[in-house]
Amino acid sequence: MLEDHGVNKVIDESRQGEAIILEGGTGSKKLYVESYGCQMNFSDSEVVASIMTKEGYTTTRNIDEADVVLINTCSIRENAETRVRNRLTEFKKRKADQPNLVVGILGCMAERLKQSLLEEEQLVDLVAGPDAYRDLPNLIDEVGTGQRAVNVLLSREETYADISPVRMDQGGVSAFVTITRGCDNMCSFCVVPFTRGRERSRDPLTIVQECKDLFANGYREVTLLGQNVDSYRWNMSSKGVIKDESIPTTNFAQLMELVALIHPDLRIRFSTSHPKDMTDDVLEMMAKYENICPYIHLPVQSGNSNVLERMNRGYSREWYLDRIAAIKRIIPDCAISTDIITGFCGETEEEHQETVSLMKEVGYDFAYMFKYSERPKTLAERKFADDIPEEVKGRRLEEIIALQLENSAASHKNQIGKIAKVLVEGPSKRSAEHFCGRDARNSKVVFPKGNAKKGEYVLVKITDSTSATLMGELVNHVN
């Protein structure tokens, strides 16, 4: 289960199965792309759409007219895989009436399940891993010759830095910009290093140019994305050795400054940070620039040092709390969210209670909470028994969800009476007479429309709150 009271979700349930549509395509061939999983997957789908439109495809949300169907997948949680399998089974039935339809699977499930999906169950015609998207036109051509096509090779270099993603939300306000791909952290519960490969960083000049283009096209917020943004490095090895003395080096703090300097009206967010790599220079850079939002997603996973060691997280409870103290010292009004897993292998009741006590001590503004679900090929599957009964996992999850609801409600209540600078995202889902947007701390704010417009900043006086939302009144526009 994913906690539903935060924002900037690791996995946004409302977007699961969303199909991409791009304006202005002129090709005769129709492409249907459906996405599941995290922000990174949706960002990747934009890259895929960009590659395919250059090959003469036009995107469609009408699956009945599609020539090629691509499903971008996630291996993080079991229920995501189940949903994808069900969709693939539907498409297989469709192929009986439309034999020339090409069905492909992309992303994290592709590498792990290529044999069963392609050969044994014959649910797909092609399989492309996260580093093989440039090869999609060739793979589709192979299928056209009667072959099944597969490319799941992981690369140490591939970043798609030279591909300008065609945004899914044309005329949008907020965009994701990928700055790293892959992950070098071998957390024992996580399958990402095996599905997305080793960590590599994009050239900072291409990141800055992409953000400049987005701002010029009306976007007013970018989220810098990576499995671990804090370990972003350009022209440096992981040990700090400079690769080319003639080229400047860039770390994550410096990259944020480069993006912040594009324009004061371009907000910068980032996700996700790793506690073992978050340094004070990042926090000091956030404090230096008003347009770097005071919001940090810092996954703790567990409040107990022994569990953290079994998870191979690379830090202790004490280290994590030191980072929290640094955040609160350097950025006093910073909102903090986290990820928590209950019922990890061998977790005792005492260890669980340490997570509860840490949540109380930190007072998170938001949290994304899960029951542990063993994933194939992870270190935990090989090393530990998944020995916590489901009912115990469920009870512990309910306990931390109830606590987080209290924390979120208290956090929002503290904002009542304050003036928030809100970036207007569009109409509220519940009322056409209201707009919604987010403040710098990443809280959702709903307010009567007045004369506000989508994509501009407004000042809103907060008058009421729930655990999920702030409500307020329009004060004026920000010049």
Q: How far apart are the first and last CA of the chain?
A: 42
Is cis: bond before 73, omega within 30 of 0? no
Query: In whole angstroms, what is the distance from residue 109 CA to residue 105 CA?
Result: 8
Q: Is 467 helix (H, G, I), strand (E, B) or coil?
A: coil
User: Residue 374 in contact with residue 403, Cβ under 8 Å?
Assistant: no
Residues of the chain with pLDDT under 70: 1-15, 17-27, 75-80, 166-171, 477-479
State pLDDT tens for residues 165-220.
766 665 689 998 999 988 888 899 988 877 788 899 999 999 999 999 999 999 99
pLDDT number for residue 476: 78
**CA-wise closest residue to 128 among 181, 138, 168, 120:** 138
pLDDT number for residue 469: 94
pLDDT number for residue 417: 96
Q: Is 139 helix (H, G, I), strand (E, B) or coil?
A: helix
pLDDT number for residue 14: 60
pLDDT number for residue 269: 97
Query: In whole angstroms, what is the distance from residue 416 CA to residue 114 CA?
Result: 52
Amino acid at 92: K
pLDDT number for residue 166: 67
pLDDT number for residue 79: 66
Query: In whole angstroms, what is the distance from residue 400 CA to residue 175 CA?
Result: 31
Query: In whole angstroms, what is the distance from residue 465 CA to residue 453 CA?
Result: 23
pLDDT number for residue 112: 75
Helix H, strand E, coil C: the string for 152-208 is CCCCCCCCCCCCCCCCCCCCCCEEEEECEECCCCCCCCCCHHHHHCCCEECCHHHHH
Query: In whole angstroms, what is the distance from residue 176 CA to residue 239 CA?
Result: 28
Q: Is 126 helix (H, G, I), strand (E, B) or coil?
A: strand
Which residues are CB-contacts of 378 (< 8 A; sequence separation ≥ 6)?
188, 189, 190, 191, 194
Cα dihedral 19, 20, 23, 26 in deg (nearest 10): -90
**Rg of the chain's alpha carbons, rounded to an integer?**
22
**CA-wise closest residue to 293 among 362, 365, 217:** 365
What stretches of 267-346 show up as alpha helix (H) in DSSP?
280-288, 305-310, 317-330
Which pTM does this prediction carry? 0.80
**CA-wise closest residue to 438 among 43, 174, 262:** 174
Which residues are CB-contacts of 245 (< 8 A; sequence separation ≥ 6)?
none
